[in-house]
Amino acid sequence: SEIDLIWQQISRRELITQNYIQKQQQLELVDCFFDVQNWDSYHLENDPPKLKQLFAQGSIFEGAFNASEKLVGVSVVSNQLIADYPQAKLLHYFYVDADQQGQGIGAKLMQAAKESAKQLGAHQLYISATPSRRTVDFYMK
């Protein structure tokens, strides 16, 4: 299926040297070192069936493609109810190819994700993400 293109075409590569931690209601940067090269076995095993299930349940998938029609980014907004946040929909999946970051693809996908949440009847987008500086800074814009 086209969903499988996510792991075939999007590079997960990322060098993480700082993470945010929460201290007394504030975010604080701490140094770390994670050299992520590829999709790990957990994601490769668990994500495809979960995303296919979400698709069947009416979640909204948005893809970004380059001029060669290669998938370079993906956004998935879940149609499932979040019990603690009934006015929100979950941004279940959000990735931009490592070699394509910094070109505005993520910003366009985020705008599409916000529109997807509205289409699904939500007023907010619930985001749960890795605490890396790059990721948190992106979502805080």
pLDDT of residue 130: 93
Check pLDDT > 90 for residue 1.
Answer: no
pLDDT of residue 121: 96
pLDDT of residue 7: 94
Mean pLDDT of the region 16-29: 96
pLDDT of residue 2: 87
Whole-model pTM? Answer: 0.92
Under 8 Å between Cβ of 77 and 116 = yes
**Domain CATH number, residue 6:** 3.40.630.30
Half-sphere exposure at residue 98, Cβ-oriented, CA atoms within 13 angstroms: 12
Mean pLDDT of the region 109-138: 96
pLDDT of residue 141: 84
The pLDDT tens digits for 32-90 are 999 999 999 999 999 999 999 999 999 999 999 999 999 999 999 999 989 999 999 99
Cα dist from 6 to 31, 54, 61, 77, whole Å: 30, 15, 11, 15
Question: Can you give the residue range of the structural domain that contains 10?
Answer: 2-140
Structural domain total, the chain:
1
* N-terminal to C-terminal alpha carbon distance within the chain: 33
Give me the chain's average pLDDT, please.
95
Residue with tokens 């910094």: 102
